[in-house]
């Protein structure tokens, strides 16, 4: 409906999670992941977001008004191209749902100080099917892994890449084995 230019309004319900999911219109997948509030500490929050960036399913987060700008900045840094819906003040007088890419979120919030008020539910939309099937790794993890595999033992390259990017170790190890064996990649095609 939203893609056709129609406004989608959530109906009040027992949970802000299901209300936000219906308002966001994310119907690509059957599953979603509820995370709630991320850490208030910047380093921990960034690590959590790096892990979430590798997850293909829709993810629902909560955030407080005094922390929304920091979360927006971290989202823009970690997963700039990820589509999301920011749901503010759901089922209340000043309800607003804005769907945009994460890199645009800090600017959108900064454009109007009223946008920083209220209760927030963020819906990180499911990754497109092609992106989810290709690999659970983000591009920065792939680049780092390529560099480290060429210079370090496999185990060390995987450990450092996982620590730096938050990408899953199992996926990194599989990819490192492919790189070592000379298996072709999308970049090589």
Structure tokens given for 3: 């893609």
The domain in which residue 36 lies consists of 2-132
Q: Whole-angstrom Cα distance, residue 164 to residue 140?
A: 10
Where the chain has pLDDT below 50, the residues are: 133-135, 186-189
Q: Tens of pLDDT along 18-48?
A: 889 888 886 666 789 999 999 999 999 999 9
Residue of 91, 35, 90 whose CA lies nearest to 58: 35
Supply the CATH number for residue 118's domain: 3.30.950.10
Strand 120-124 relative to strand 32-37, pairing: unpaired
Are 17 and 72 contained in the same domain? yes
Are 109 and 52 contained in the same domain? yes
Are 71 and 149 contained in the same domain? no
- Residue in the block written with tokens 């600017």: 107
Are 80 and 42 contained in the same domain? yes
Residue of 59, 54, 78 whose CA lies nearest to 175: 54
For 91, left (φ over 0), alpha (ψ -120 to 50), or beta?
Answer: left
Last residue of a domain, one of 112, 132, 152: 132
What does the pLDDT read at residue 167?
A: 74
Looking at the domain assignment, is residue 113 inside a domain?
A: yes
Point out which residues pair with 59 in neighbouring strands. 33, 124
Are 94 and 23 contained in the same domain? yes
What does the pLDDT read at residue 188?
A: 47
Contact, 154 vs 160, CB < 8 A? no
User: pTM above 0.85?
Assistant: no
Last residue of a domain, one of 132, 148, 167: 132
């Amino acid at each position: 409906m939203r893609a056709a230019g129609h406004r989608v309004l959530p109906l009040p319900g027992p949970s802000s999670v299901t209300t936000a999911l219906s308002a966001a219109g994310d119907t690509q997948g059957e599953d979603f992941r509820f995370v709630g509030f991320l850490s208030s500490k910047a380093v921990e929050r960034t690590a959590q977001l790096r892990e979430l960036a590798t997850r293909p399913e829709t993810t629902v987060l909560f955030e407080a008004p005094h922390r929304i700008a920091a979360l927006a900045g971290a989202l823009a840094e970690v997963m700039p191209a990820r589509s999301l819906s920011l749901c503010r003040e759901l089922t209340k007088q000043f309800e607003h749902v804005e769907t945009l890419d994460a890199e645009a979120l800090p600017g959108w919030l900064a454009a109007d100080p009223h946008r920083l008020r209220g209760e927030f539910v963020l819906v990180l939309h499911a990754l497109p099917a092609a992106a989810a099937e290709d690999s659970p790794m983000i591009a920065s993890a792939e680049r780092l892994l390529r560099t480290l595999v060429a210079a370090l033992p496999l185990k060390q390259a995987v450990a450092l890449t996982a620590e730096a990017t938050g990408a899953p170790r199992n996926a990194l190890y599989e990819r490192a084995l492919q790189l070592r064996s000379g298996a072709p990649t999308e970049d090589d095609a």
